[in-house]
Amino acid sequence: MIQSLPKYRSLSRLLSPPVLTLLLVISALCALLIGAYSLPVQQVGLVMGEQLFGLEAGLPQTLSYLVWDIRLPRILLSVFVGGGLAIAGAAVQGLFRNPLADPTLIGVTSGAMVFAVAGILFSASVLGVIGSWLGYATVTVMAFTGSLLTTFLVYWLASSKGYTSVVTMLLAGVAITALGGALTGLMTYFSDEDELRDITFWTLGSLGGANWQMLALLVPLVLLPAFILWRQSSQLDLLLLGEREAAYTGVNTQRTKWIVIGCAALIVGACVAVSGVIAFVALVVPHLVRLIQGPRHRSLLLGSALLGGLLMVWADTAARTLIAPAELPIGILTALLGAPFFIWLLLKTKRSL
């Protein structure tokens, strides 16, 4: 694993959790002021006052809707999706003792994708009753179900006689991901023009559909598992020594595996369900934090969550303003920024080894 390099020690103090939290809050406030619709600061302030403290500012309905029901939920959603993906990534990397691990590897994303595409394709026909009952939420619910099902499938494939092999899990994840890709491809092939558009946009990710109901569903599904993951910090630290060594020190490794995989699947499943596929956040953010703060999971998990949220707020702000009045899919943006950064990170650590 990449160790904290002495060079970055000062940065480590700079990016401590309180500072990151402060930056996150400031970023979210900035993001609230930035958008395709240029609004003066006072107006945004008035809307917030109106909504939070019941002020009577007499603003046009469109204005308060814009700030309170479009911008704000979207920003909060980006905080939780970014933070959720990053903390799940950090925990999974710790569990697999592999810095290249990513929740994608245990099949979460691919399972979500297969089910989401099926939701887009069949929501009108096969899913009939359920589809019409769920309405817009069909794809979201399908994606979430798919991600959990595949994760359990992968976990089950890797378990025998009460023992779960981490290596087998990784391989099973790769196989299931390939299978998922094939099924998605098959359905894509039979889709018509409109469905194809929907599928493509979904796989590129977007936070565009954010609303308060969505947040109300997502927040507990991210916060609760994230808290449980964080409580596993010391077990994850010990696991870094090796699975057997950790067991000798009294860690119930089987239980830790189960908790980490379950929580990561819940978080990533929920995030993917509301936003589609957003690449590289789960992989790159934990690396960055590990580089600055070292591999101790207590600070790593917390730092990843905060930094993930912080970066996602800015990525989404860019997504909705850079090519306005159109919208850039956020998955493209995170991959465009994340991949070169990851390569830079590889080169940097290669030299220092």
Partner 1 sequence: MNRFIIHFLGMLALGLSLNACQNAPSATEQATQEASYKRLVSLSGSVTELLYELEQGDKIVGVDVTSTYPAEQLTQLPKLGHVRQLNVEALLSLQPDLVLAERTDEASAALQQLETAGVEVLWLDGSFTLDKPLAQAEQIGKKLGLNEELESLRKTYEADKAKLQQARQTMEGIPKVLFIYARGKGSLMVAGKNTAASAMIELAGGQNAISSFEGFRALSAEGLMEAQPEVLLLFDSGLQSLGGVEGLLQIPGLAQTPAGQQGHIIGMEGLYLLGFTPRAARAAADLSGRLQALPDAYTLN
Query: Considering the rule CB under 8 A, would residue 125 count as an interface residue with partner 1?
Result: no
Cβ at position 129, least distance to partner 1 in Å: 16
- Out of 1, 13, 19, 65, which residue is the one contacting partner 1 (CB under 8 A)? 65
SS (H, E, C) the chain: CCCCCHHHHHHHHHCCHHHHHHHHHHHHHHHHHCCCCCCCHHHHHHHHHHHHHCCCCCCCHHHHHHHHHHHHHHHHHHHHHHHHHHHHHHHHHHHHCCCCCCHHHHCHHHHHHHHHHHHHHHCCCCCHHHHHHHHHHHHHHHHHHHHHHHHHHHHHHCEECCEECHHHHHHHHHHHHHHHHHHHHHHHHCCCHHHHHHHHHHHHCCCCCCCHHHHHHHHHHHHHHHHHHHHCHHHHHHHCCCHHHHHHCCCCHHHHHHHHHHHHHHHHHHHHHHHCCCCCHHHHHHHHHHHHHCCCHHHHHHHHHHHHHHHHHHHHHHHHHCCCCCCCCHHHHHHHHHHHHHHHHHHHHHHHC
User: ∠20-21-23 over CA atoms, to 5°?
Assistant: 60
Identity of the residue, 88 or 288, whose beta carbon is nearer to partner 1 in the bound complex? 288
Identity of the residue, 63 or 171, whose beta carbon is nearer to partner 1 in the bound complex? 63
Cβ at position 90, least distance to partner 1 in Å: 19
- Out of 6, 18, 54, 60, which residue is the one contacting partner 1 (CB under 8 A)? 60
- Tokens found for residue 220: 């507990």
What is the distance between the alpha carbons of residues 61 and 80, in angstroms, rounded to a whole number?
Answer: 27
- Out of 159, 327, 332, 339, which residue is the one contacting partner 1 (CB under 8 A)? 327
Query: Considering the rule CB under 8 A, would residue 69 count as an interface residue with partner 1?
Result: yes
Cβ at position 83, least distance to partner 1 in Å: 19
Cβ at position 92, least distance to partner 1 in Å: 25
Q: Give, as ranges, the residues between 131 and 170 that touch partner 1 (CB under 8 A).
A: 135-136
Q: Which amino acid is at 316?
A: D
- Out of 122, 152, 314, 342, which residue is the one contacting partner 1 (CB under 8 A)? 314
Query: Considering the rule CB under 8 A, would residue 39 count as an interface residue with partner 1?
Result: yes
Identity of the residue, 66 or 226, whose beta carbon is nearer to partner 1 in the bound complex? 66
Cβ at position 60, least distance to partner 1 in Å: 5
- Contact letters for partner 1, residues 246-285 (x by CB under 8 A): ----------------------------------------
- Cα-atom radius of gyration of the chain, to the nearest Å? 21
Identity of the residue, 267 or 270, whose beta carbon is nearer to partner 1 in the bound complex? 270
Cβ at position 134, least distance to partner 1 in Å: 12
Query: Considering the rule CB under 8 A, would residue 40 count as an interface residue with partner 1?
Result: yes
Q: Give, as ranges, the residues between 19 and 38 that touch partner 1 (CB under 8 A).
A: 34-38
Q: Is the CB of residue 41 less than 8 Å from the CB of residue 318? A: no
Closest CA to 281 of 348, 349, 218, 331: 331
Query: Considering the rule CB under 8 A, would residue 317 count as an interface residue with partner 1?
Result: yes
Cβ at position 84, least distance to partner 1 in Å: 21
Identity of the residue, 92 or 214, whose beta carbon is nearer to partner 1 in the bound complex? 214
Query: Considering the rule CB under 8 A, would residue 61 count as an interface residue with partner 1?
Result: yes
Closest CA to 297 of 307, 313, 283, 286: 286
Scanning 151-159, 233-241, 266-274, 318-326 for contacts with partner 1 by CB under 8 A, the matching segment is: 318-326
Q: Give, as ranges, the residues between 189 and 228 that touch partner 1 (CB under 8 A).
A: 189-190, 192-194, 197-198, 201, 206, 208-209, 211
- The position carrying tokens 């994850």 is 236
Q: What are the residues binding partner 1 (CB under 8 A)?
A: 7-8, 11, 34-40, 43, 60-63, 65-66, 69-71, 135-136, 189-190, 192-194, 197-198, 201, 206, 208-209, 211, 314, 317-318, 320-322, 324-327, 329
